[in-house]
C-alpha cells in the first residue's frame, strides 16, 4: 500500500483528528514550541528508512523538500536579508501547513509526542540554521552514514550523477561538525528491532521490512574520510 492509498483510506473521524492535529501544530509554531525530529545525512544512507520509523511517534512528516533550491534565486538576485527572511518564513509555514501525516497514521495511535519529522538528505548548514530560527531547535537529531563503496554504488544507481557522489558525502560530513546528532551507520546491517531500540528505546514491532544489500568493499578517497569520521565521532554512533 503506498502513501497516497493510506491517506485515502483514512475514515472521516481520522481526517477530522488529522485536521485538529494540524491546527495544534500550527498553533505551536506560533509560539516556537515545536517538538520535532531532524534526520539528515548523505543521500542513499538510510535516511528514508529512519524517517519512516521515526514517524511512528510523530504527527506529521516533511521529506526531502530540497530546501537549498528555495534559496538559489533570492541569493543570486541579492535580495535584502529581510526580504529573504520573509519568504523563508512563509515557505516553512506553507510546508508545515501542508505536511503529510506520518506513515503510520493509519494505525490510529494517539501517542505521538513529536509534532513532525523532517528528513532532508544532503542538508546544508545554512538551511539547518533557518530551520532552527523558524521552528526552534530539534528535540532529536539523527545523522545517517554508510560505508563509501556501498554508498557510491547506490548513489550512482539512483541519481546517475557521478560528479555529485563525493560532494554529497563530504558536504554532509562537514554539516555534521556543525549540526551534530546521533550517528546511525547503515552499513551495520541493523534489523528493524535494532532500529526501534535505537530510536524509541524499546521494540514497537512496526509492520515494516528492512533489507540490506551487501556490496563488495572497494577502497576509495572516501574510505579514509569515513574511517576518520568513525574514529573521531565513535561516542556518537548509535548501537542497539
By CB under 8 A, how many residues form the interface with another protein? 35
Comparison of 23 and 218: residue with beta carbon closer to another protein: 23
What is residue 105's three-state secondary structure?
helix
Residue from 14, 28, 74, 182 in contact with another protein (CB under 8 A):
74
Q: Phi/psi of residue 185, each to 5°?
A: -90, 115
User: For residues 237, 166, 66 and 160, what is the CA-based torsion angle, rounded to 10 degrees?
Assistant: -120
Helical ranges in the chain per DSSP H: 3-8, 12-30, 47-54, 67-76, 81-97, 125-135, 148-159, 162-179, 192-200, 221-232
Which is closer to another protein, CB of 92 or CB of 176?
Answer: 92
Sign, Cα dihedral of 163, 169, 172, 177: negative
Nearest 5°: the CA angle 47, 98, 137 is: 55
87 sits near another protein (criterion: CB under 8 A)? yes
User: Is 1 a binder of another protein (CB under 8 A)?
Assistant: no
Query: Pairing relation of β-strands 182-185 and 36-41?
Result: unpaired
Residues 10-29 that bind another protein (CB under 8 A): 29
Q: Which is nearer to another protein, 69 or 231 (CB)?
A: 69
Output 93 or 153, the one with its CB closest to another protein. 93
Residue number with CB closer to another protein (135 or 229): 135
Q: State which residue, 4 or 235, has the beta carbon closest to another protein.
A: 4
> What character string, x for contact with another protein (CB under 8 A) and - otherwise, covers 28-67?
-xxxx------------------------------xxxx-
Q: Nearest-CA neighbor of 154 among 41, 236, 238?
A: 41
Position 69 contacts another protein (CB under 8 A) = yes
Q: Among positive and negative, which fits the CA dihedral 113, 118, 124, 128? A: negative
Does position 76 bind another protein by CB under 8 A?
yes
Q: Which residues bind another protein (CB under 8 A)?
A: 3-4, 29-32, 63-66, 69-70, 72-74, 76-77, 79-80, 83, 85-87, 89-91, 93-95, 97-100, 133-134
Amino acid at each position: 500500500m503506498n502513501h497516497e492509498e493510506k491517506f485515502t483510506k483514512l475514515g472521516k473521524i481520522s481526517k477530522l483528528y488529522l485536521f485538529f492535529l494540524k491546527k495544534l501544530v500550527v498553533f505551536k509554531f506560533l509560539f516556537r514550541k515545536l517538538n520535532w525530529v531532524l534526520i539528515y545525512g548523505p543521500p542513499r544512507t538510510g535516511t528514508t528508512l529512519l524517517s519512516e520509523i521515526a514517524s511512528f511517534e510523530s504527527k506529521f512528516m516533511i521529506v526531502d523538500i530540497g530546501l537549498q533550491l528555495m534559496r538559489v534565486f533570492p541569493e543570486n538576485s541579492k535580495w535584502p536579508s529581510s526580504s529573504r527572511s520573509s519568504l523563508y518564513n512563509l515557505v516553512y509555514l506553507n510546508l508545515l501547513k501542508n505536511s503529510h501525516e506520518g506513515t503510520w497514521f493509519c494505525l490510529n495511535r494517539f501517542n505521538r509526542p513529536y509534532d513532525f519529522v523532517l528528513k532532508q538528505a544532503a542538508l546544508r548548514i545554512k538551511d539547518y540554521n533557518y530551520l532552527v530560527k523558524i521552528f526552534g531547535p530539534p528535540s532529536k537529531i539523527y545523522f545517517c552514514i554508510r560505508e563509501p563503496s556501498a554508498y557510491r554504488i547506490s548513489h550512482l544507481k539512483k541519481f546517475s550523477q557521478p560528479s555529485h557522489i563525493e560532494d554529497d558525502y563530504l558536504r554532509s560530513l562537514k554539516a555534521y561538525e556543525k549540526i551534530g546528532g546521533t550517528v546511525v551507520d547503515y552499513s551495520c546491517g541493523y534489523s528493524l528491532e535494532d532500529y526501534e531500540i535505537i530510536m524509541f528505546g524499546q521494540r514497537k514491532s512496526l509492520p515494516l521490512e528492512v533489507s540490506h544489500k551487501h556490496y563488495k568493499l572497494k577502497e576509495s578517497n572516501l574510505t579514509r574520510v569515513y574511517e576518520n569520521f568513525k574514529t573521531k565521532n565513535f561516542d556518537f554512533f548509535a548501537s542497539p
